[in-house]
Structure 1
Amino acid sequence: MAGPDFDAELKQLQATMRTIEQVLDLDAMRREIADLGEQVAAPDLWDDQANAQRITSRLSVLNAEIDRFTDLNSRVEDLAVLVELGQEENDADSLAEAETELGRVKKAVEALEVRTLLSGEYDAREAIITIRSGAGGVDAADFAEMLMRMYLRWAEQHKYATEVFDTSYAEEAGLKSATFAVHSPYAYGTLSVEAGTHRLVRISPFDN
């Protein structure tokens, strides 16, 4: 079985990272960090606690974004070095390690690319989700429970913490309603596309 085309994969990763860097505008972030740092150093910062919390929270978010990009960019560079050494030495172990790391780095870059696209006012926040079965009887209640399990399993697979606030079960089966939180940065931006009415359509295997 042929291995990956490392040169093509690395070029694509490097191009994606350059695009992410342009979208994030790291220079503007650093200027904002410097400005916020001066405000944090002010002796009267905590005279207005609400404003102080806003400033320190924003500073924390910006630092985390830069660290996330810098760390991932370093991983891409380290991967390129590992591939180069493996190819020069024709070292099967190094190339196998590079193939494994390539898969991990690709997933991380794809995740960062998605986060970069989430630039709405509330996109970086955690999410609170409410599911209601509405009209439709037992089928609707069953479907509501299926949706809740689906979202909770999705969060678990991504290692996002969840917290169920309320569940109201239907008399026969399923859920009337449920409210739960997904505790993760960008959970709101990621899940906001799920807002609206969901329908369950049963398709017979005998339909053409």
Structure 2
Amino acid sequence: MASTDFDAEIKQLRATMHTIEQVLDLDGMRREIDDLGVQVGAPDLWDDQANATRVTGRLSDLQGQVDRFTAILARIGDLEALVELGREEGDADSLAEAEVELTRIAKSVETLEVRTLLSGEYDAREALVTIRAGAGGVDAADFAEMLMRMYTRWAEQHGYGVEVFDTSYAEEAGLKSATFAIHNSYAYGTLSVEAGTHRLVRISPFDNQGRRQTSFAAVEVVPVLEMTDEIEINEEEIRIDVYRSSGPGGQSVNTTDSAVRITHLPTGTVVSCQNEKSQLQNKASAMTILKSRLLALKKAEEDAHIKELKGDVAASWGDQMRNYVLNPYQVVKDLRTGFEVGNPSAVFDGDIDGFLEAGIRWRRGADQTPV
């Protein structure tokens, strides 16, 4: 790469970082960090555990964002020094190393830039993900389990916590449904673009004749609510059932009726939780899930009028938003953004950042389309 290319690329990186700094309001973040630091230092902080958790979580999130920004700036500075050294000494190896680092930094800046597009009301929240097997029998159940692994692997690779609330296993293989939380700020804004119908095409490992099978799974993503969110549930409008937790194939994993299912009668919304050991803990978790789903339902109703004004969107074949094709060729393609990769194995192993970033940019463009 010529020296003028380095100069132009680094100049562009710094310009983008300056824009990101303004959008994120780094000075405001630092002021809030100072204020939260004072609160964390108070001796009575943990007298109110809910507030203490909120304060410490917010402090960790803000500090992490500031640290990521400053780390990228430092890398750009180091890159400039490496380029200058390579030029002065005519060191081709140093310039080659600089070219590799330039590509890495550009990717980091792009990822940080995508974060600035997450400005929705609940985008900064943690995510509650539910996956349900659709049409396709045992292949669909197996596909649902593959998707759950994909998202949990993605979270693990980024160091995000995962908490499984409920899993309903299919009789032969896979999952009927699963609900789990991704514990990281902006997890909802990031993963919300995954909501929709996913389609898998492959030679079925469950078909004795080795025929190609098409199966579907639905992904639902809602924000995890905080204590301050105003979602009130009338006790008279819910039905609570308790039952015994079970594992794969119906095998009992609990000898007491600790699992909890809550039905919201006015909307017909049903949630369940069997991850915790006590019925009380499962009830509390199930209520959290129910509130999150009712919030999503409320927002969907509010958005319905806007969607009507925009008119019907031309749908692709069926109603899927992404195809995972393993036979007769291999590709994973998002039908909304056009983003695709030719390595399904990597995608199912959690390599979905490209799809997430493309989806976030696509959504921002769709939101700004004139009514």
Tell me which interval the TM-score lies in, with the shorter structure as reference length. 0.7 to 0.9
Counterpart residue number, 2:191: 191
Distance 1:157 1:188 in 2: 17
Shift of 1:58: 2.1
- Structure number with greater CO (CA < 8 Å, separation at least 6) is 1
Shift of 1:188: 2.5
Does residue 168 (structure 1) correspond to residue 168 (structure 2)? The answer is yes
Counterpart residue number, 2:55: 55
Counterpart residue number, 2:65: 65
Distance 1:160 1:46 in 2: 24
Shift of 1:132: 0.8
Please give the secondary structure, in 2, of the residue aligned with 1:117.
Answer: coil
Counterpart residue number, 2:206: none
1:43-94 CA distance string (max 9 Å, x none): 5544444333323332232222222211211111111121122123221121
Counterpart residue number, 1:36: 36
Shift of 1:20: 0.7
**Identity across the alignment (%):** 77
Shift of 1:165: 5.2
Q: Residues 92-171 of structure 1 correspond to what in structure 2 (within 5 A)?
A: 92-155=92-155, 158=158, 160=160, 162=162, 166-171=166-171
Change (3 A) 1:59 1:182: closer
Distance 1:176 1:14 in 2: 48
Distance 1:64 1:158 in 2: 13
1:85-127 CA distance string (max 9 Å, x none): 2123221121122122212212221222222322445434443
Please give the secondary structure, in 2, of the residue aligned with 1:59.
Answer: helix
Amino acid at match of 1:128: L
Q: Specify every segment of 5 or more residues in structure 2 that has no aligned partner in the other structure, as ranges.
A: 202-213, 215-324, 329-371
Shift of 1:128: 3.5
Please give the secondary structure, in 2, of the residue aligned with 1:61.
Answer: helix
Shift of 1:163: 5.5
Change (3 A) 1:62 1:150: closer
Change (3 A) 1:166 1:20: same
Please give the secondary structure, in 2, of the residue aligned with 1:198.
Answer: strand
Does residue 78 (structure 1) correspond to residue 78 (structure 2)? The answer is yes
Shift of 1:171: 3.5
RMSD over aligned CA atoms reads 3.2
TM normalised by structure 2 equals 0.47
TM normalised by structure 1 equals 0.76
Amino acid at match of 2:128: I
Q: Which has the higher helix share?
A: 1
Shift of 1:162: 4.6
Q: 2:61 touches 2:185 (CA, 8 Å); kept in 1?
A: no
Shift of 1:24: 0.9
Q: Which has the higher strand share?
A: 2
Counterpart residue number, 2:26: 26
Q: Specify every segment of 5 or more residues in structure 1 that has no aligned partner in the other structure, as ranges.
A: none
Amino acid at match of 1:196: G
Distance 2:188 2:165 in 1: 17
Change (3 A) 1:193 1:42: same
Counterpart residue number, 2:209: none
